[in-house]
Structure formats: C-alpha cells, structure tokens
Amino acid sequence: MNLEISKEEAQIMHIDLNSAYATAEQQAHKSLRGRPIGVTNRISKHCCVIAASYEAKALGVKVGMRLDEVQQFIPDFIMLETDPPKYHHVYQALCRIMKDYSPDVKMKSIDEGVIDFHGTADLHKRPLTEIGMEIKERVRKEIGSHMRINVGIGTNRFLAKEAAGWHKPDGLDVIDFRNIKKYYAEQQLTDLTGIASHFEARLNAAGIFSPMQFLNASSDTLRRLVFRSVIGEDWYQRLRGYEVDNVITKLGNVGRQFVLDVRSADDSVILPRFQYLCETTGKKLRYNNVDARGVYVWAMFQTGDHWYVRKMHKQPFFTDRDIYAKALYLFNQRPKHLIITAMGITLYKLEPSTRSQQSIFDEVNKQEWLTTAIDEINERYGNFILFSANALEGKHKVKQKIPFGGTKYFELLLKRA
Amino acid sequence: MDPTHYLNERVDVVTLYRKSGDVSTLCFPYKMKYKNEEIIFTELCLRHPTSKGHRMIHVFDVGDGTNDYRLEFDAEGLTWTLVALLEGHYEPRD
C-alpha cells in the first residue's frame, strides 16, 4: 500500500481540559489559584499525585510523584483528596457544550472528548477554528472562569489529539496536510500518542528515530518489521491522517484492586478488604448487565513477588455470594506466610445477563432476589449502605477511586460518593 | 499539606434567588452566620449538584475575599451545612 497524506478537510475536534482535577479544585477554591497544588485519592505520606496544577508542573511536579518527594522541593505544596461529584459536574457541563455542535460526540475519558463534525457543514457554515474559540469561551462562562481547554482539529482522531497537545495550555491548533510535516519535525517519537518506550525501542531497532522517519516508513516495514501485526498498517494510515481509531470496544472484564493500607499476612486484616473488593466488583458486573464465568485473583507480596490464579466456570454467576465464594476459594491458595501489599479480583468471560429468566431451582431465585433487593436499597440510600458484615472493615478502608480512562463507571461511583 | 478544615456544622444562611441569568447564578448563598459572626460571600466559585442516596444536595463553593467555604444545601431536609473551610489568601505565591 502506498498512501498520500490525507487531503481531506479537518473535521475532527479533540477537546482536552487542562489539568482537569487540579483546575476544577482551583475553580472551586479561589485561594488555591496560582499555587502549586495536586490531587490524590487518599492523602497519606506515600500517596502520589494523580493530577497537578500548571503551577506545580512548572516547578517540576509530575503525575505519579509521591507526596514526600514533592515536599522535598516544594514545602508548601498543597494536596487535596479527589471530589468525584465536582469532576462529574465539570464533565457533564463539558459534554453538554460539546453536544451542541454535533450529534457525534464521544468522551474519551473524564477530561477529554472528540467531536466529529462530518455531515454538519450546512449546520455551522463557519470554520472549525471559530467554533473552537467559541467552545473555549463557553467553557469559561458556563463552567468557570478558571477553566481552560486545549482544542485540536485534525483529519482523524490521532491528529486532532496531537493538535490539542501542541501548544498547552489553552491552545487551539489544526493539523492537516498543510502543516503535518512541520508538526512531526518538531516532535520526538515518544511525544506521539501511543508511542511509549516499548514501541520506541521497536522503531529504533528498525532504524526509525524520529516521527518524520516514522512517517516515511513503508506500510510493509511497519507491518512486518516493526509491529509484526496489523497494528503497523494502522500506524501507517493514522500518521497520514486517515481514520483508524473510530472503533467501539467490547467490555472484556470488570474488577477492582487495592493497595493495602496495612501490609499484612493476617486473614483478619486481608479478608474483610478482599470481600469488599468482591462485592463492589459484583456491583460493577450487574451495573453492566452482564454475568461472568471466569475469576482471576492476584496478590503482590512484600518480597516483590506476584501471585495469581484463575478459574473458568461452566455456569455464569453474578451474585455477591457466588463471586466471593469462588474468589475466596482461589485466594486461599496463595502462599499464606507472605505479607500482602496489594491484591485484586477480575471477573472475565462476560456474557449478557440471563437474570430475567427465572430458574427452576428455588435456591437460585432466592439468591437473585436477595441480590436485587440489596442493589435497590443501595441505589436508594447510597453510600453502599448494605453489605456483608464481614466486609465492614473493608468498607471503611477501601475508598472508591476516580476512574481513569473510560467514564462508564462514573454514574455508579457517584451513587456511592 | 491540605489546608481544608472540616467543620460539618449547621449554619444560618441568607440566600438570593434571581429570576433570570446563568443557571450557575440563579440561586446562591449571600451571607451566613457562623460562631456569631456574619460572613458575606463575595465570590461564587463553583456550584454543583450531588446526591446522598436519593437526597439531592447542592454544593456551593464560595469565598469571602479571604477564605473559601464549602456549603451544602440539602434540598430534602432544607438545611444548610458548612462542610469545610479553606484558609487562604488570594495573591499567587512568589
């Protein structure tokens, strides 16, 4: 295959909220504006920054840094705990604004989304750069005067995202056939979305050291030599501005994990937390209206060792009792003398729920009714008010975290907030 | 590290309602009485709804020019709670 760079008019707009969580906190608290702040899920000495304000980034704070590390060079660094309803409000307001311009809007995560303008030219009759400026203004007016967004416009989702990151913060750029080579010439390989150290090493091994060389590589080289799969072909098209990323992914698994607040090998400490993880995973499963057949449990030990075990079952399951029983059976096979630092459960092999089908076994029906009743009570009163007594300590210790990536669990999270 | 003081105290609040305008400013707390002091709000920084079970809660992040306050209005119980206070100053750090 030999493709030219796409000459299509740029119709994809990527919108990215600058340092979303930190900026939302600065919007809510005027006294924090202009100051280096960070946001974390649970404040402790070793907690890490999951979002940093631009002022903090300018002083060298990076996402993932531990609080005690940051405090060594910024003694007055302010760390706040996440506030999901606040971010949800900002997310919803941003969605609302974006949907005013096209019916085809897809939120990629809590702080970024894509507007596809294909087929809306007659509706707007003005350049997308003008619409981009208007969206920026509306975000300031309708969400908050401190809120800033980056807007990127491109012929495909990849180039639109690259354009949004070109001149941060508060940028607005277009990348199309006119300036695509100029853009690539300014970047490093790992600046490109989707190219991290692993892919960079593969590209380097094939003699590709810059985005321009990446662009000039043939489809065959990328497919056979670099990526050794169809991914190479996708990259060949993506770099030239052709759309390959407009795909809907299927839900493959649900799960939860927890870094223990107290490192321990003692069942009385571990099992309440583990049971709570199982119950909240069950809630996610039912929220997606699917049943699972596979259970995967894992643990990380203080020794640095990682342990896991998985099992596939013939019959699908979805009740908290079934999930915990199956997970516990596996979890009890761990080396019990080792101190656990983190653990998790994942349910896989998901299939559409058969819950509307009544069983011929009364015991099965009773389990289903009990689960439904518990879910309804929790839905009404919030805050996971009803749960197993054994999981009591777990409920107090395992805090719900802000979802990264997709936003499919945001509504569920808010019911517990 | 975290300048937030959690108070969770019921307070008296005078609220303003406007007949028109942006949704974020249609209703907002004007002043409150806390520990026998009257605090007049000069800034409405952010308002967002949330829920506790089926109860609708409106969260108002407001400022009086010096400190920031988080006030919550329970739309079912019709109560105002001063949830938290952030001591601060409005000048950016040096």
Is 3.30.1490.20 the CATH number for A253-416? no
Q: Cα separation of A267 and A398, whole Å? A: 16
Residues of A in contact with B59 (CB under 8 A): 85-86
Residues of A in contact with B67 (CB under 8 A): 31
HSE value, Cβ hemisphere, 13 Å, CA-based, for A136: 20
For chains A and B, CB pairs below 8 A equal: 91
Supply A251's token pair: 């839900």
User: pLDDT by residue (tens digit) across B15-72?
Assistant: 999 898 777 778 889 999 999 999 999 988 999 988 877 788 999 999 998 899 999 9
Element (H, E) at B37: strand B37-40
Judge whether A2 and A219 are in contact, CB under 8 Å. Answer: yes
Residue of A30, A41, A44, A54 to mutate, testing the B interface (most B Cβ within 10 Å of its Cβ)? A30
Which pLDDT score is estimated for A306?
94
Q: Which CATH class is domain A10-174?
A: alpha beta
Q: Where are the domains of chain A?
A: 10-174, 179-248, 253-416
Contact B51 A34 (CB under 8 A): no
User: pLDDT by residue (tens digit) across B34-50?
Assistant: 999 999 999 889 999 88
> Mean pLDDT for each 10-residue chunk of chain A (417 residues)?
85 90 92 91 83 91 89 90 87 90 87 90 86 93 89 94 88 91 92 90 91 91 89 92 83 86 87 91 88 94 93 91 94 92 93 80 83 84 76 74 58 52
Q: Does A66 touch chain B (CB under 8 A)?
A: no
Which pLDDT score is estimated for B92?
46
Distances A151 to A154, A194, A217, A370, B5 between C-alpha atoms, Å: 10, 19, 29, 48, 37
| Annotation: CATH topology of A179-248 | DNA polymerase; domain 1 (1.10.150)
Which pLDDT score is estimated for B26?
85
Q: Cα separation of A38 and B1, whole Å? A: 10
Q: Which residues contact A245 (CB under 8 A, 6 or more apart)?
A: A156, A157, A158, A238
Q: Cα separation of A261 and A274, whole Å? A: 13
Which pLDDT score is estimated for A354?
77
Q: Nearest to residue A415, comparing CAs of A322, A236, A286?
A: A286
Residues of B in contact with A416 (CB under 8 A): none
pTM greater than 0.95 (yes/no): no
Residues of B in contact with A28 (CB under 8 A): 45-46, 61, 68, 70
Torsion sign (Cα): A360, A364, A366, A369: negative
Q: Nearest to residue A33, comparing CAs of B43, B8, B14?
A: B43
Nearest CA in chain A to B1: A78
How much is the CA Rg of chain B, to the nearest whole Å? 14
Q: Please tell me which of the candidates A55, A144, A382 has its beta carbon nearest to residue B46.
A: A144
